[in-house]
Amino acid sequence: MTRPAHTCHAHGCTKHVSPELLMCRRHWKLVPKALKKAVFRHYRPGQEIHKRPSDDYLVAAANAINAVAEIEQGRATS
């Protein structure tokens, strides 16, 4: 069975990543350590298959995505 394409969740990124990953390697490296830990803590194996992540995971993921956006925005205005 072929999985649908999944892309990095960083704003504007179209890099294909494995469905269990939130971001491509380049963007994941920008996520602060505490936010990475929160994403891992709330990830439940298989959530990318059954499409039912926890609310805590969704908050952690959104925080990581927003942190990367802020970092990239800061780079763009420097």
What pLDDT sits at residue 45? 94
- Host domain of residue 28: 1-78
Question: Residues near 58 by Cβ (< 8 Å), separated by ≥ 6?
Answer: none
Number of domains in the chain: 1
Q: 57 pairs with which residues across the strands?
A: none
What pLDDT sits at residue 5? 84
As given in the structure block, the two tokens for residue 32 are: 């602060």
Each residue's pLDDT tens digit in the chain (78 positions)? 556 689 999 999 999 999 999 999 999 999 999 999 999 999 999 999 999 999 999 999 999 999 999 999 988 776
